[in-house]
Amino acid sequence: MTELARLISAHKLQPAQVEKLDVGANHQMTTTLLHHRPKTGLEAKFSMEFCMAILLLRGKGGLSEFSDAVVRSADVQEMIGRVNFYVDRRLKVQASTNDVSFENSLKDGKVITGRADFAKGSPRTP
């Protein structure tokens, strides 16, 4: 989430600009974050699509965002549909890394990319 937050800030991204957000990760991460269309707050905790959508829409992903009502809201469900979470075969599967690649396709044709190797809170990104 840290890298997407950085991209949102650096490019002043607004939800309406985003056509599609491709998020590539290693196979291990895609099997852990298994709820691609969450309907409850609990499912959202295991959904990359929700985490990316809520960050784009609200700029944060705190405890209050992981409620059933928020997850089921029309704007969140619509944004979840724009997130494509897939296995990026270029990324390594290692217990110590959480490689994630981002490709934001904007409605004006611009593409913004990013990559995160270590999650915030890991020893390499305290």
What percentage of the chain has pLDDT greater than the value 70? 87
CA dihedral 88, 89, 92, 95 (to 10 degrees): 70
1-57 per-position pLDDT tens digit? 888 999 999 999 999 999 999 999 888 888 999 999 999 999 999 999 999 999 999
* Confidence at residue 93, expressed as pLDDT on a 0 to 100 scale: 59
Map tokens 């990359």 to a residue. 48
What percentage of the chain has pLDDT greater than the value 90? 67
Give the separation between CA 55 and CA 120, rounded to whole angstroms. 15
Please, what are the domains in the chain? 2-116 (3.30.1330.120)
For residue 122, give the DSSP letter: B
Output 91 or 25, whichever has higher pLDDT. Answer: 25
